[in-house]
Amino acid sequence: MKIVVNGEHADTRAATLTDLLNELGYADAIVATALNGTMVRAVQRRATALAQGDRVEILAPMQGG
C-alpha cells in the first residue's frame, strides 16, 4: 500500500499506525503522530487503520526558539 510518511512516498504493509511505527523502527521512540492533518493520540494508534494515499506525520522533539 502506498502512503506518504513525513512528506515522502512510502510502501508499507502496515495495517495500523502502530504497525507503521514498528515497521519504521519507532516502537520505543517518543513521537507524536498525525493522520491526514489530524492528530492521532498514542492510545488511538493501534485502532487507527491506514488506507492507500494516507498522509502520516511522525514528529519528534526538536530544538526550537
Residues 3-42: x/- map of binding to another protein (CB under 8 A)?
---xx----------------xxx--xxxxxx--xxx-xx
C-alpha 13 chain-centroid distance: 13
Q: Dihedral of CA 22/29/37/39: which sign?
A: positive
Q: Which three cell numbers stand for residue 23?
A: 515497521
The residue count for binding another protein (CB under 8 A) is 25
What is the spatial distance between Cα 39 and Cα 8, in angstroms, rounded to a whole number? 18
- Residue 16 or 31 with smaller CB distance to another protein: 31
Footprint on this chain of another protein (rule: CB under 8 A): 6-7, 24-26, 29-34, 37-39, 41-42, 57-65
